[in-house]
Amino acid sequence: MHTTTSTAHSPAAHAPASIPSGRLRTSMGMTALILFGLAYMVPLAVFTTYGLVTQMTKGHLPTAYLLTLAAMLLTAYSYGRMVQAHPYSGSVYTYARKAFGSHIGFITGWTLLLDYIFLPLLSYLLIGIYMAEYFPAIPAWLWVLGSIALVTCLNLVGIESITRVNWLLVMLQLVFIVVFVALSIRNIAGQAEPASLLAPFHHDGFSVPLIMTGAAVLCLSFLGFDAVSTMAEETSNPTYRIPMAILAVSLIGGLLFLLVSYCAQMVFPDWGSFADPDSASVDVMRRVGGELLVTAFTATYVAGCFASAMVSQASVSRVLFAMGRDGALPRAFGRLVTKKRVPAVAIVVVSLLSLVALVITLDTVANMISFGALFAFSAVNLAVVKHYLVDHRLRGARNYLLYGVVPGLGFLSTLWLWGSLTSLSFSIGLCWMGLGLVMLLGLTRAFRVKLPELQMAE
């Protein structure tokens, strides 16, 4: 790949020059991409909002996961099509900018940051909560600070170090899931009056609106398949490997979530009796395997959160890098340093923002992430239609199906989930978008100057 830069033109006399581009180091293969996505998702993420969504859906968590999985697979397909068109860092920011122009691209990228910036923060927050509960003599804030420091160092060393650690942490979670499912089957087989095998999907209290609301929250569990797209410039043959990895991560993660939530619902059908919805997973573990399984779960879950923090920080730093390289953010974000060619400034800035984990609540973070994620998912589906059917004017039944119907269904499904979010989600999300609009007005001098544009070609 080679890059060229050009000067953006506008009616204004002093349009800023384009920002020189950098090139990230190509080092990721298919296995590394899938591990990256699974580590980002956290295979045990089903327990992050388990109690909350189980009560929200009145015991229909697996049904909500089915709806979310269907929407995510459609959107994963759209991500794959856009990676083939634009195999560069930046994810939805790059796709929206290429499809709809620099201004829409900036707002989309800014809203995407609401998802990406606060996902590592969520991981740090969960690490602090669980470790402080297990080691009460050590305050939560100390665990948070230690995790941020270690993750930052690993990211500065380079993406190869993250891949090696991901192998261990993802496999650890998968082993735990196998043990949990096996013990759950034994528990279900030993029940005096086992429930119907279809009960987790449909029983008394079934409500489509409640399940849709729960499904919208569960998008939080799937965040990771989209992050794979930010590694496009660090992957050999990205137009083939990135789309395949995105679909693989979505399907593997979704099936794991379905399996675990189904077993948990069968073992603990009395969803209304949780002592505390935030720690409902502990109640399930205790019923399945006693205190020993509770201890194993805590250790494995914290390890998964650490893996997610590593890859989510790496991912958001690439989005900041792409925006800085384009001139949508200060130039320092778009510079690569050290022999590993990593966006160090972006990595450090994300670490500093993650310190908010010391003062924010879990519920607030979850709402912020869900808003940003679903907005980004909607944008990438529309970008497929715009790029292939409008810009390139592809015609014929096959093209209409691949680039019109499928992404159209993806857009409608994510829009439906987006509309099911809570009012808190919209309040926070719209305020964030408003702040982005103010920044855009400042960068473009009230739209009199164009944002600098990076031209990239194979």
- pLDDT tens for 162-196 read 666 667 777 888 899 999 999 999 888 877 776 67
Chain mean pLDDT for the chain: 78
Residue given tokens 């130039």 in the structure block: 331
Tell me what pLDDT residue 408 has: 93
- Bridge partners of residue 5, in order along the sequence: 454
Statement: residue 91 has pLDDT above 80:
no
pLDDT at residue 13 greater than cutoff 60: no
E strands, 46-196, in order: none
The predicted model gives 8-17 an average pLDDT of 39
How far does the chain reach from its first CA to its final CA, in angstroms? 5
pLDDT for res 313: 80
User: Predicted confidence band at 156 (pLDDT cuts at 50, 70, 90)?
Assistant: confident
User: Cα(205)–Cα(57) distance, rounded to whole angstroms?
Assistant: 8
Give the separation between CA 89 and CA 229, rounded to whole angstroms. Answer: 7
Average pLDDT for residues 241-270, to the nearest whole number? Answer: 88
pLDDT above 70 coverage of the chain, percent: 84
pLDDT of the residue at 326: 67
What average pLDDT does this structure show over 405-429?
Answer: 84
Q: What angle do CA 419, 66, 126 make, to 5 degrees?
A: 75
Contact 311, 122 (CB under 8 A): no
Of 273 and 458, the structure prediction assigns the larger pLDDT to: 273
More confident residue, 133 or 56: 56
pLDDT grade, residue 401 (50/70/90)? very high
Model confidence pLDDT, tens digit, residues 328-381: 677 777 677 656 667 778 888 888 888 888 888 777 777 778 788 888 888 889
Tens-digit pLDDT profile for residues 94-124: 788 888 877 888 888 788 777 777 878 888 8
What residues does 342 pair with on adjacent strands?
Answer: 337
**Is the model's pLDDT at 223 over the cut of 60?**
yes
What pLDDT, on the 0 to 100 scale, is given for residue 164? Answer: 66
Please name each of the domains of the chain with its CATH number: 2-6+32-457 (1.20.1740.10)
pLDDT number for residue 3: 38
